[in-house]
Amino acid sequence: MSQKNKKKEPGFKFIKTSGGIEEYHLESNNLRILTLEDHSAPVATFMVTYHVGSRNEAIGYTGATHLLEHLMFKGSKKFNKEKNTAIWSELQNIGAQINATTWNDRTNYFEVVPSEHLERAIAIEADRMRHAFLKDEDRQPEMTVVRNEFERGENSPFDVLDKNIWATAYQAHPYHHSTIGWRSDIENVSTKRLQEFYNMYYWPNNATVTVIGDFEKKRALALIKKHFGVHPSSQHAIPAMYTEEPEQEGPRRIIVKRGGQTGIVGIGHKTPEGLNKDTYALQVLGKILTEGKVSKLYKRIVDPGLATSLFMYDFPFKDCGMFISYVFLTPETDHNSVEEIVLQEYKQIIKEGIKQKELNRAKAQINANVAFSRDGSYAVASALNEAIAIGDWTFYSTFMDHIKKVSRKDVQRVAEKYLIEDQSTIGWFIPQD
Amino acid sequence: MNNYFSEKIVVDEPEAGLSTFVMPTGAKDVITFAGSLLCGALYSPKKNREISSLTSGMLDKGTNNKDKFEVSDTLESVGAEINFFTTAHHLQFTGYCLKNDLETVLCLLAEQLREPLFSDEELSTLKKRLIGNLERTKEDTKKQAMIGLLRDLYPPHHPNYAHTTNTKIELVSSVSTKEIRALHKKTYGLGGFNFSAAGDVSPNTINALLKEQFSGWKDGAKKPYQLNLKARPVKPKERRIPISDKQSIDMYLGQAIGIDRQHKDYYPLRMAVYVLGGNFSARLMQTVRDEAGLTYGIGSSVLGTNFGSDGYWSTWATFAPALLEKGREMTQNQISKWYNKGITENELNAKKTTITGTYQVGLDSTGGLAGRILSNAEQGEKIEHLDKYPEIINNISLDKVNKTIKKHIKPKELTFVAAGTFVD
């Protein structure tokens, strides 16, 4: 019997398997399903990832994806307060861990449940996929909730600086604005606009459903078919986001002055789309520079007391990204000296490369991170969600294989290619009394 | 689920004064561990409780045989981590590693605990970083509001008391390596040493390793420090802490409750507070957030009740400056309603099933397990207590919960503390 026949389930098309994860499509509406059975604890995670995020927004409705995510908890046809089946209580009363998150490329809703309650999570997600209420009387109080979420972010000097660096580095591409959106858009976007957004993107053919943990595959697929199979695929094509960022032709700077106590330096360089082959070497480069107390920047900056801490991120996104190092200064340290040290270390790698020991250490750190990204059904779902978002879930299952192949030359090459002055955006947070 | 923990956790004492709790799970390759010794802040000289936090902060800054970079490289070259921190009673550590690296990591842990270097130069840079972090907390609205609340509820030297940030900076600045060495010599050792691990781990391997590494270590404290200080008398206070350029205010309403976690009313009171503000489907989130839209986050909890300490009940929320008074009023109205009418049978039953389910969901990863097992051991509870917890909760009656609210809560005598940028 062929591999495909072994995995044949009625109503589903088996697509592929990688790292123990299997991909199926529900034939009636083209919903994509990923499954990973693991019976080590009596717990299962169910997740729906919609392929819509803040990259699908534009001026006037920035933050709409996130506001819509909030409204999705206000009730749907079968699960609502009037019927005494509100989503939060239906799930929290069985001890489920439940939430949703929105980011640049995706919106995900998840439930970590005692495995005997998996069907409840599936039923709720299926119902709100096409039957969410999205009422204006619900948007009004939820707008102020989201606005307070925005305000809490604005309390943090780091959040403010990070938003400003992205808004300076990306001018045309929608990664320009943060997922929470601009304050005036949060306040003024109409319910009608949110409903249009929902009706444009919340369809089975624009979603990936993931089931991980303690479940029996045949039964889980049957439940998914029962609950999600009632929805047709969309009658319209899901609109593509086509805006590209024009080439940056010189370094950029941004300074944020606000009440605060200590300074922050952020140094960003543009990087390619997450699925680009250079992503793996960039991830290794990031570890060598900032991960742990023997990393290059920690030894030069934090260890001698110039900063309290530092970190970098280069999240793989669908379209393009940013390699950003952040340094949190100690009170007497000036921004300029720390900025110089960071750039010196970048230049050093470009000129002389890295040592084999540094490469080995970075790979060991990533290997441990990958192992812990499989510690529990929610950990898997969370990591897999980001791979789904960038357009290929096997990015998660094959990640370590690609990392193993990264050479010292690869790391030096990507440093030379991306850590260049003309592609940089440097931000300072300068605290004011 | 009835005997889940009792059946899976292997309890041992590989060395006198070192208790181990090892739980093999279905996780592959990964091990998470946690541990603690009785040498927290209360074991420091009374004049400066910060000596203990500086002592734990120095544990990764070199040993008699390895400089700080060798210490870090030992861990980072295998992708492992060990972190130390101090609570009122304990030096705690948490860590993780892959199965094949367990020996390397535990040998290093023992070396760090038993033979730390404590150099003057390292202490000087550590202080610089700590003071930088403390300076940064002055702009943290939540942290400053919490400090304000604890200062109003408790007297100095009580385990739940908090120094102002400036006082803490002064205390940190004055610590010397001489004081650190003296504290380490006097308090670190076997006695109240608990170690828990979960994941792809063999109890025999871990016990043999720990026995080898900690054999012959000197004695430390065996029982939690008992302090007979009580909270300040409950009376309403109001404190506003201005911090410039903040768009959201953090608010606490709270009071001391006079009971610890061993008190017979502890679990009924926790259930009552859980119904008020324990999760999203609790009353405060459903009303102040979901219906009125006044806040992104609001919750209520009972805290500070460990090791005989008389704890406190607090309700926390964030509001835009212009919505603070409205938010406060609505929160207080909900508290009054909860106090006057109590909770309902349906609410109690729903929270009981929540807690039972949460317990099961908590088995999902090794990280939470090691911490939960350690916390149980620190409280002096047997492993069976972990299995009995849902039963304890399920046996709580509605009448008991509502009587407990009346007995321990004084809704008209709440202390109010808020930090942020206030509107005129």
Judged by DSSP in three states, A112 sits in strand
Q: In chain A, pLDDT over 70 holds for what percent of residues?
A: 99
pLDDT band at B360 (very low <50, low <70, confident <90, very high): confident
- Per-residue pLDDT for A66 more than 60? yes
Nearest to A144 among B280, B293, B420 (CB): B293
Q: From residue A112, give the alpha-carbon distance in Å to each of A191, B299, B405.
A: 30, 21, 32
C-alpha B393/C-alpha B351 separation (Å) is 9
What pLDDT is attached to residue A1? 47
B219/chain A closest Cα distance in angstroms = 31
Q: Please report, in angstroms and rounded to a whole number, the separation of the first and last CA atoms in chain B.
A: 56
C-alpha A287/C-alpha A269 separation (Å) is 16
Dmax (CA) for chain B in angstroms is: 65
Domains of chain A: 3-228 (3.30.830.10), 252-432 (3.30.830.10)
C-alpha B300/C-alpha B17 separation (Å) is 37
- The answer to whether the CB atoms of B319 and A148 lie below 8 A apart is yes
In a domain, B247, yes or no: yes
| pTM, entire model | 0.95
Question: A262 to chain B: which residues are within 8 Å by CB?
Answer: 132, 135-136
Average pLDDT over residues B367-380: 91
pLDDT digits (tens, 9 = 90+) for A178-201: 999 999 999 999 999 999 999 999
In a domain, B43, yes or no: yes
Nearest to A361 among B76, B138, B294 (CB): B76
Average pLDDT over residues A289-317: 97
How deeply is A409 buried, as exposed, middle or buried, from its count of CB atoms within 10 A (0-12, 13-18, 19+)? exposed
B190: β partners: B219
Looking at the structure, tell me whether residues B75 and B193 fall in a common domain.
yes
Average pLDDT over residues A342-346: 98
Nearest to B132 among A38, A331, A376 (CB): A331
By C-alpha distance, the chain B residue nearest A39 is B26
Question: B79 to chain A: which residues are within 8 Å by CB?
Answer: 364-369
- The answer to whether the CB atoms of A375 and B319 lie below 8 A apart is no
- The answer to whether the CB atoms of A376 and B27 lie below 8 A apart is yes
Question: B319 to chain A: which residues are within 8 Å by CB?
Answer: 148
Q: Which of B155, B181, B214 is the last residue of a domain?
A: B214
* Tokens (6 digits) for B184: 């380490």
- The answer to whether the CB atoms of A375 and B293 lie below 8 A apart is no
Looking at the structure, tell me whether residues B207 and B246 fall in a common domain.
no
pLDDT band at B26 (very low <50, low <70, confident <90, very high): confident
- Per-residue pLDDT for A220 more than 90? yes
C-alpha A364/C-alpha B297 separation (Å) is 38
B14 CB-near residues (< 8 Å, 6+ apart): B20, B207, B208, B210, B211, B214
Q: In chain B, pLDDT over 90 holds for what percent of residues?
A: 89
Q: Which amino acid is at A166?
A: W
Q: Which of B198, B214, B230 is the last residue of a domain?
A: B214
What pLDDT is attached to residue A383? 96
C-alpha B35/C-alpha B373 separation (Å) is 10
Closest to A28 measured CA to CA, from A47, A16, A13: A13
A235 CB-near residues (< 8 Å, 6+ apart): none
In a domain, B227, yes or no: no
Looking at the structure, tell me whether residues B185 and B273 fall in a common domain.
no
- Over chain B, what is the mean pLDDT? 95
Average pLDDT over residues A144-163: 98
- The answer to whether the CB atoms of B361 and A376 lie below 8 A apart is no
* Tokens (6 digits) for A401: 């294989």
Number of domains forming the structure of chain B: 2
- Per-residue pLDDT for A276 more than 60? yes
pLDDT digits (tens, 9 = 90+) for A83-118: 999 999 899 899 999 999 999 999 999 999 999 999
C-alpha A351/C-alpha A66 separation (Å) is 43
Q: Is the dihedral of CA B297, B331, A186, A78 positive or negative?
A: positive
Region label for A30, one of left (φ > 0), alpha (ψ between -120 and 50) or beta (otherwise): left
A238/chain B closest Cα distance in angstroms = 32
- ipTM, interface predicted TM-score of the complex: 0.94
In a domain, B220, yes or no: no
Looking at the structure, tell me whether residues B266 and B326 fall in a common domain.
yes
Question: A379 to chain B: which residues are within 8 Å by CB?
Answer: 365
How deeply is A100 buried, as exposed, middle or buried, from its count of CB atoms within 10 A (0-12, 13-18, 19+)? middle
Q: Of A379-388, B164-173, B357-366, which gets the smallest average pLDDT?
A: B357-366
Looking at the structure, tell me whether residues B62 and B169 fall in a common domain.
yes
A330/chain B closest Cα distance in angstroms = 5
Sheet holding A424-432, edge to edge: A252-259, A424-432, A264-271, A321-329, A307-313
- Per-residue pLDDT for B23 more than 70? yes
Asked whether A72 and A201 are in contact (CB, 8 A), the reply is no
Nearest to B361 among A113, A147, A262 (CB): A113
- The answer to whether the CB atoms of B320 and A39 lie below 8 A apart is no
In a domain, B293, yes or no: yes
pLDDT digits (tens, 9 = 90+) for B29-82: 999 999 999 999 999 999 999 999 999 999 999 999 999 999 999 999 999 999
- Over chain A, what is the mean pLDDT? 96
Residue numbers of the domain that contains B76: 4-214
- Per-residue pLDDT for B187 more than 50? yes
pLDDT band at A3 (very low <50, low <70, confident <90, very high): low
A152 lies within 8 A of chain B by CB: yes
Looking at the structure, tell me whether residues B202 and B253 fall in a common domain.
no
Asked whether A293 and B76 are in contact (CB, 8 A), the reply is yes
pLDDT digits (tens, 9 = 90+) for B221-273: 888 887 778 999 888 999 999 999 999 999 999 999 999 999 999 999 999 99
- Per-residue pLDDT for A6 more than 80? no
DSSP for residue A308: E
Q: Of A341-350, B80-89, B187-196, B380-389, which gets the smallest average pLDDT?
A: B380-389
A141 lies within 8 A of chain B by CB: yes
Question: A293 to chain B: which residues are within 8 Å by CB?
Answer: 60, 68-69, 72, 76
- Per-residue pLDDT for B362 more than 80? yes
In a domain, B230, yes or no: no
C-alpha B251/C-alpha B38 separation (Å) is 33
Asked whether B307 and B261 are in contact (CB, 8 A), the reply is no
In a domain, B10, yes or no: yes
Asked whether A11 and A226 are in contact (CB, 8 A), the reply is no
C-alpha B393/C-alpha B315 separation (Å) is 22
Looking at the structure, tell me whether residues B286 and B402 fall in a common domain.
yes
C-alpha B398/C-alpha B344 separation (Å) is 7
